[in-house]
Amino acid sequence: MKIRGERECTECGTRWSYYETGSIDCPACGSLHSVGIDDRSEHTDQPVSFDLTSIRNAIDDVPTDELADRTRDHCREFVRQRGFISGGSLRDLTDTYLVAAELHHVADIIARESSVALDEREELYFLSLLRDADTGTRPPADEVPPPLRAARGLAYANAISAYRRDLRTWLDERDHDLTSPERAALETLGEHVTRVRMLDGDIEPEVADRLVEVTRDLADGLRGRGAGNEDAVSRARDQLAELE
């Protein structure tokens, strides 16, 4: 969606950035009447906070399945509101977004399992995610319990799909003419995401991590970050070939 994010209140003259606040009302007087003072820019992101403190504080007071319910809803809302284009600029695929997406899927599994069927390692992994997710800490692949590896696989596949969609929108807005290698890499990445989804995320966690690395390299290369942008695209293509 294209918007004019730099706003000026018609009541008091205060200026603010919708890109930063996500608010349409004037921060000074509360008026809803404002005008845009910049050109329209593509914007898919909402600056929503990700704070799990209140849920963590309830650990000793509620059953694990209820805790997982609350966690799932909180993470789902965060992932729903975050996008990857802010005021025309392409954002990174951050660890915070990835771990929130994973925690959403893990919490969904935990919430649906009975306390009798719940494996201790699964519960401990859920609690470790809950403890560290809002700091952007992703557990290493070898710490993912086998029953929960599909949660990471599906979470990362969905995250990459959303990022890839915004990346293509960003490229279209800039009239970026993709080279054949760039186009091939984007298409191949999409094919991998489709395959992971068809498997319901049931892939090795190391493979899911590799797909994230590919996505980040490809994004860096396409936006020309630094002198090695061609190397980044080449690195992404090599990693995709290794995953075939």
In this predicted model, what pLDDT tens digit does every residue of 160-174 receive, in sequence order?
999 999 999 999 988
Picking from 208, 218, 207, 215, the residue whose alpha carbon sits closest to that of residue 105 is 208
Indicate if 195 and 122 belong to the same structural domain.
yes
What tens digit of pLDDT does each residue of 50-93 get?
999 999 999 999 999 999 999 999 999 999 999 999 989 999 99
- Is 44 among the domain residues? no
- Is 48 among the domain residues? no
The total domain count for the chain is: 2
Indicate if 9 and 72 belong to the same structural domain.
no
Indicate if 60 and 129 belong to the same structural domain.
yes
Q: Which amino acid is at 209?
A: D
Average pLDDT score over residue span 131-139:
96
User: Rounded to two decimals, what is the model's pTM?
Assistant: 0.87
Q: How far is CA 69 from CA 11, 72, 99, 101, 208, in A?
A: 43, 5, 17, 14, 25
- Is 47 among the domain residues? no
Helix (H, G, I), strand (E, B) or coil at 36: strand
